[in-house]
């Protein structure tokens, strides 16, 4: 569809047909897609412009989507989407962070000019960049339209990956494994934490085996010591300890497609309790991967993992996994299925998940995760890093 995309015009056409079928079933005439991953999935658009209002419109009667964004980013849309000029619509620069006017005032005008002022419009209420102000200006500008949350309709359409997408996921896994190995190789007592992260960033972007890397939707997470009792801390410049734990959660990224991975390191000889928990996590992931086959459900994968933990006197209250794929900051999850009790989504070949397997206790935690593709034979791992408590003497 465009000279920068790895996907064909036929691939984008298939995606748009799928979304329109979902729109018809949900009784929508028009979608306003502000999630940058959805914008990219529908059109190929790729630019660091999501900090200002922008969106892609999909109308049942319009053959191709419409990109709507900042005038300064119009050329990015021309370079990355291949959409015709009629379908690339910039808003006025003076509306950027304007206390009175808003870009979606012009979006409402565009919708009216296309004859869609009384449309049934689905908006992405849970998209990170669809702000309350965006919604207020759009509703005010289209008083004859009927608005409702579209229930992450496009996110659900992205759930089963095509073969070209799976190829990128596997390449992302190769990059992720390489970056994790490089980072762990740098982790020794006394090494400043930021030096480990610098090594990691270099490996993520340089890639491996001719595969160049991309920036990740989440920065590297590296809690250390008692910080491992919680999962979402980043690094400092403090030296790594002579004894104790450190957890590293990262992603390899290839053309915006993510494969995530978490590993835990212990400096010095680990207490037996740490080894026992690590073994329980590894065995639980094995059980989950075995269950992650087509025809099974999301909650069955979680139940297999949880059964192993409970047999060892452990538990994890939060969900154990979520779908991954094409992503932009601030999250590499797709916000659809969750591997947790009560989610009866039937697994299909081509779905991709990050099984975020970890146990966080009062004063420490251990996490050893795996990203995988659902197949008829179980979960196919995307990464190749050893799954164990890594001991650095």
Question: 201: domain CATH number?
Answer: 3.90.230.10
Measured in whole angstroms, the distance separating CA 251 from the mean position of its chain's CA atoms is 10
Look at residue 1 in the predicted model and tell me its pLDDT: 45
Number of folded domains that form the chain = 2
Distances (CA, A) of 301 to 122, 308, 337, 357: 32, 12, 12, 12
Residue 242 lies in a domain: yes
- Tell me the CATH number at 80: 3.40.350.10
Residues 181, 111 within the same domain: no
Residues 185, 115 within the same domain: no
Residues 119, 245 within the same domain: no
Residues 185, 315 within the same domain: yes
Residue 311 lies in a domain: yes
Residue 46 lies in a domain: yes
Residues 221, 358 within the same domain: yes
Please name the residues in contact with 292: beta carbons below 8 A apart, sequence gap of 6 or more. 301, 347, 353, 355, 372, 374, 378, 379
Residues 77, 184 within the same domain: no
Residues 219, 118 within the same domain: no
Q: pTM of the entire structure?
A: 0.96
Can you give the pLDDT of all 393 residues of the chain as single tens digits?
Answer: 454 678 999 999 999 999 999 999 999 999 999 999 999 999 999 999 999 999 999 999 999 999 999 999 999 999 999 899 999 999 999 999 999 999 999 999 999 999 999 999 999 999 999 999 999 999 999 999 999 999 999 999 999 999 999 999 999 999 999 999 999 999 999 999 999 999 999 999 999 999 999 999 999 999 999 999 999 999 999 999 999 999 999 999 999 999 999 999 999 999 999 999 999 999 999 999 999 999 999 999 999 999 999 999 998 889 999 999 999 999 999 999 999 999 999 999 999 999 999 999 999 999 999 999 999 999 999 999 999 999 998
Look at residue 82 in the predicted model and tell me its pLDDT: 87
Q: Please tell me whether residue 80 adopts helix, strand or coil conformation.
A: helix
Residues 178, 283 within the same domain: yes
Residues 171, 152 within the same domain: no
Q: Report the b/e string of 323-353 with b at 16+ CB within 10 A.
A: bbbbbbbebbbbbbbbbbeebebebebbbbb
Residues 319, 219 within the same domain: yes
Distance CA 309, CA 355 (A): 14
Residues 133, 233 within the same domain: no
- Last-in-domain residue among 122, 157, 192: 157
Residues 18, 103 within the same domain: yes
- Last-in-domain residue among 139, 157, 175: 157
- Last-in-domain residue among 141, 157, 173: 157
Residue 3 lies in a domain: no
Residue 243 lies in a domain: yes
Nearest C-alpha neighbor of 206 from the set 183, 184, 222? 183
Look at residue 5 in the predicted model and tell me its pLDDT: 77
What's the domain range around 63?
Answer: 9-157
Look at residue 4 in the predicted model and tell me its pLDDT: 67
């Amino acid at each position: 569809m465009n000279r920068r995309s790895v996907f064909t015009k036929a691939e984008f056409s298939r995606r748009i047909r799928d979304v329109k079928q979902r729109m018809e079933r949900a009784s929508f005439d028009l979608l306003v897609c502000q999630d940058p991953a959805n914008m990219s999935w529908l059109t190929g658009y790729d630019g660091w412009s999501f900090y200002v209002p922008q969106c892609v419109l999909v109308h049942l009667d319009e053959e191709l989507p419409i990109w709507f964004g900042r005038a300064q980013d119009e050329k990015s849309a021309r370079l990355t989407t291949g959409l015709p000029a009629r379908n690339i619509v910039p808003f006025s620069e003076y509306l950027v962070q304007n206390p009175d006017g808003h870009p979606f005032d012009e979006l409402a005008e565009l919708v009216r000019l296309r004859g869609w002022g009384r449309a049934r419009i689905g908006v992405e209420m849970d998209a990170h960049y669809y702000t309350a102000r965006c919604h207020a200006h759009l509703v005010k500008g289209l008083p004859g339209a009927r608005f409702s949350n579209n229930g992450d309709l496009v996110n659900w359409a992205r759930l089963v990956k095509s073969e070209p997408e799976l190829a990128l996921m596997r390449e992302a896994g190769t990059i992720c494994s390489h970056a994790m190995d490089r980072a762990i190789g740098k982790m020794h007592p006394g090494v400043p934490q930021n030096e480990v992260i610098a090594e990691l960033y270099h490996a993520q972007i340089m890639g491996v085996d001719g595969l160049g890397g991309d920036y990740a939707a989440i920065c590297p997470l590296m809690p250390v010591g008692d910080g491992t009792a919680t999962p979402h801390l980043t690094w400092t410049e403090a030296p790594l300890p002579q004894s104790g734990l450190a957890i590293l959660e990262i992603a390899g990224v290839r053309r915006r497609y993510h494969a995530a991975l978490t590993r835990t390191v212990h400096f010095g000889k680990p207490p037996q309790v740490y080894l026992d928990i690590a073994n329980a996590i590894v065995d639980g992931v094995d059980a989950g991967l075995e269950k992650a086959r087509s025809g099974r459900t999301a909650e069955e994968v979680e139940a297999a993992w949880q059964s192993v933990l409970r047999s060892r006197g452990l538990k994890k209250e939060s969900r154990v996994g979520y779908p991954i794929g094409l992503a932009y900051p601030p999250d590499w999850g797709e916000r659809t299925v969750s591997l947790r009790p009560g989610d009866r989504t039937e697994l299909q070949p081509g779905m991709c998940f990050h099984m975020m397997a970890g146990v966080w206790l009062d004063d420490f935690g251990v996490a050893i995760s795996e990203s995988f593709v659902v197949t008829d034979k179980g979960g196919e791992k995307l990464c190749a890093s050893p799954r164990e408590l890594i001991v650095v003497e």
